[in-house]
Chains A and B, each alone.
Chain A
Amino acid sequence: MSVLNGVSYGLLLFMLSAGLTLIFSMMGVLNFAHASFYMLGAYFAYQVSSWSNFWVGLLIAPILVALLGGLFERYVLRKTHKFGHVPELLVTFGLSFVILEIVQLIWGRTSVDYPVPPSMSGSLFKVFDSTFQMYRGFMMLVAILMLVCLFLILKKTRIGLVIQAALTHPDTTEALGHNVPRVFAIVFAAGCALAGLAGVIGGNAFITEPGMAQSVGAIIFVVIVVGGMGSLAGALVASLLIGLMQTFAVGLDWSFAGGLARLGMDITAETPGYSLLKLKLSQVAPILPFLLLVVMLVVRPKGIMGTRDD
């Protein structure tokens, strides 16, 4: 059960970080507003599904997000390209502010009611007393489908080849007659669409509110650093690792104090460093990804599957 929960959460993280990694490896741009596109996906899906139903939202919301992403790339981001990577990062940073404000302006500052579709809220199967919701299974299915599609497009199609070529040799690709800026815009839009898709299925599994972007933003950065900058496979491994790690850590009430007590030491509130020793593993579970980041940087700075060591 924990494995399933961990994997489904990990796969959602992967959907989010896949788009980010794709954009980063292609264009060298770290899209700070990536999580904001995730949020937009959730809100669009909420809006569309309140007019018609969830399935229409699932289809339309990512397309809308991709459109916005493409427009942003074409009319704003491209203009800063000549200034270098720092202004590019800054411009997406500014965008995340503006998106947040506009979302609050349109949909308000509190959460909206974006429910799991009734056909999906039933139980898929039961382990002991606890049920595994059908929707979580659906989440995993979408993520895996997306992974397969992404793989096939990148490896098997012509456009995938052009993208890979533009990634490593933009000038040569341009010389061969391909419109590299347009490829960039498409990639950026596609990356945003993936974030939007994650928003559509993450927004109702969890919660759709203005703080949702900020709360996942930091985690997906951890995923792509730990996985290795620009490596899709690395992002997959890191997402699953983080998903499983967090899920399992919650179940473990280990603490240093408990461990030492078992070794026969007397740990009380007066022991120096008690506040650190008494922390249980389950209490720190949500910040484990950040600890993992620090450990990874000390041990293997290029990440799990990273090739570059800058």
Chain B
Amino acid sequence: MTNALKPIHFKPKNGVRIVVWSAFAFILFALPALFTSSFALTLLCLTGIAAVACMSYNMLLGQTGMLSFGHAVYTGLGTFVAIHAMNKIVGGWAIPMWMIPLVGGVAGLAFGAVLGYVTTRKAGTPFSMITLGVGELVFASALMFPEFFGGEAGINSNRTAGKDMWVNFGLSFGPQLQVYYLIALYLFACTIAMYAFTQTPLGRIANAVRDNPERAEFVGYDTRWVRYLVLMVSSFFAGVAGGLTAVNVEAATADLLHGVRSGSYLLFTFLGGVGFFFGPIIGSVLLVFSLVVLSEYTKAWQLYVGIVFLIMVVYAPGGFSALIMLNLRRVKYGEWRKMRWPYAGMFFFGVFALWGMAAIVEMAYQLKVVEGSGAALTVMKVPLNCQSTASWLIALAVLALGSVGFEYWRRKFVAVWDSGEERIAEAIKKAEAAIV
């Protein structure tokens, strides 16, 4: 059985590693200079927080093979505890505001220890179902205890409360830019910590538990204990993300705990790619992009996300990061040139197929609202009318043409790809033989 979640081997040298990390730090530092509007800055903050949350989720899914439907429980509870801690600062406690995310982390860890004890009793599919059930339980309870969760209106706080205390080094955290750098700092630290975790013995055993639990058990590891420990570490980082949310939004509401949020962590972590450490970061960019930007352009954004997700699971279970890495490997072995034409062909016809599909979906949506806003619409600058047969025929024809052309080039592509794969495998074999 080939395991889709197994990473492709890629081991950069130490020097490369330093360059990569410094580049990462530099990008985080320089981003606000590129995106100056306060809305863009808000998006950056959301992305940074989502990145921490998705990476912590990938500890479960990518590294230990635990498909959880209840990750929002830990991020959400982290936010609530952090908000209460912030209100203590408002009340005069001398906790530095920049430590609030850590408070969230500790809360996440504590809840992970309690709830994880139950959920990790099972592995595989039952684990998924149980996390779903526990998630529902926590969400339903949140509305029942308004004393802690603030009912429907949630709990508010003020991040500027401790600005006069010396522990905050003169930072008020009022301006969004300060919050961004706080998030960037935590993101950087968490990324390093989570990467380091993958190199620890526990991180390695987690991989073993993912790939072959029977064997790991046979070698003498208690797989349940491994799952439990990983879940606790993961929920710590999830809690940090929750704490960052508390500082960023200055409010906590029960929807933070909802299953929909857990679902989107799963969805976008997967789209980013679970096989690579940096995959979830791509996922978090996609998450904020589709939730905030894509939804501005089309009402059908959830349908598009769902369809892309389905296609990815079936054809590219490694997510976008795997697509990138596989192509990089081609470049490395000089195979990429051979795929230029198939790529160009697929891209050319893919655009048509995509347009045809988008036109059909958008026209269908327009039909629903035709009474209020008329039948005319444009899809990627092409004017259409959802009540004219011609528009539908054009869309269908373009879709059909695009699909046929795409399929033709896809077959060529698969042939080129597979032959390239063989040559690369041979090259690797030769290189290994040379070393021996």
Contacts and interface: CB of A to CB of B under 8 A. Distances in A.
B303 A287 contact: no
A108 B367 CA distance: 11
Interface in B119-134: 119, 121-126, 128-130, 132-134
Contacts of B129: 30, 221-222, 224-225
**Which of B126, B132, B146, B147 has the most CB atoms of chain A within a 10 A radius of its CB?**
B126
Nearest to B310: A94
Nearest to A29: B125
Given A76-B310, A91-B313, A97 B305 contact: yes
Given A80-B313, A284-B144, A310 B5 contact: no
Interface string A283-304: 1101101110110011001000
A155 interface: no
Nearest to B131: A221
B67 A89 contact: yes
Interface residues of B, number: 52
A309 B130 CA distance: 14
Given A98-B303, A105-B365, A287-B140, A93 B125 contact: no
A101 B303 contact: yes
A86 interface: yes
Interface in A186-234: 214, 217-218, 221-222, 224-225, 229
Main secondary structure of the interface of B (DSSP, over half): helix
A218 B259 contact: yes
A116 to B, nearest CB: 28
B423 to A, nearest CB: 24
A290 B67 contact: no
B388 interface: no
A221 B132 contact: yes
A271 B137 CA distance: 25
Interface string A256-295: 0000000000000000000110010001101101110110
A24 B125 CA distance: 10
A185 B1 CA distance: 21
Given A94-B310, A98-B307, A310-B124, A279 B270 contact: no
B317 A297 contact: no
Nearest to A221: B129
B118 A297 contact: yes
Contacts of B133: 218, 221-222, 225, 289-290, 293-294
B130 A297 contact: yes
B380 interface: no
Given A89-B67, A101-B303, A294 B314 contact: no
Given A101-B303, A102-B303, A225-B133, A84 B1 contact: yes
B130 A98 contact: no
Given A94-B309, A218-B259, A310 B123 contact: yes
A95 B313 CA distance: 11
A82 interface: yes
Interface string A222-253: 10110001000000000000000000000000
A30 B69 CA distance: 13
A221 B135 CA distance: 12
Contacts of B306: 94, 97-98, 101
Contacts of B361: 105
A128 interface: no
B60 to A, nearest CB: 11
B204 interface: no
Nearest to B263: A93
Interface in A1-37: 24, 28, 30
A224 B309 CA distance: 27
A115 interface: no
A225 B134 CA distance: 12
B2 interface: yes
Contact of B3 (A84, A91, A287): A84
B407 interface: no
B145 interface: yes
B141 A30 contact: no
B364 interface: yes
Main secondary structure of the interface of A (DSSP, over half): helix
A310 B1 contact: no
Nearest to B365: A105
Interface string A165-192: 0000000000000000000000000000
Contacts of B266: 90, 93
B174 to A, nearest CB: 34
B118 A294 contact: yes
B378 interface: no
A198 to B, nearest CB: 18
B368 interface: yes
Contact of B67 (A80, A86, A95, A293): A86
B149 to A, nearest CB: 10
Interface in B206-230: none
B218 to A, nearest CB: 15
A217 to B, nearest CB: 8
Nearest to B210: A86
A95 B310 CA distance: 7
B65 interface: yes
Contacts of B314: 76, 79-80, 91
Contact of A87 (B124, B126, B148, B313): B313
A224 B132 CA distance: 13
Contacts of A85: 124-125
A101 B2 CA distance: 32
**Which of A30, A97, A289 has the most CB atoms of chain B within a 10 A radius of its CB?**
A97
**Which of B128, B129, B146, B310 has the most CB atoms of chain A within a 10 A radius of its CB?**
B129
Given A80-B314, A95-B310, A298 B118 contact: yes
Interface of B: 1-5, 61, 65, 67, 118-119, 121-126, 128-130, 132-137, 140-141, 144-148, 259, 263, 266-267, 270, 300, 302-303, 305-307, 309-310, 313-314, 317, 361, 364-365, 368
Given A90-B67, A224-B129, A225-B126, 11 more contacts: A84-B1, A93-B266, A93-B267, A94-B306, A97-B302, A101-B300, A275-B146, A276-B145, A286-B140, A290-B134, A297-B130
In the A-B complex, the 9 residue pairs with the smallest Cβ-Cβ separation, listed nearest first, are: A97-B306, A290-B137, A83-B4, A101-B303, A221-B129, A98-B306, A94-B309, A94-B310, A30-B125
10 contacts: A30-B125, A84-B5, A89-B128, A100-B302, A105-B300, A218-B259, A279-B144, A287-B140, A290-B137, A291-B137
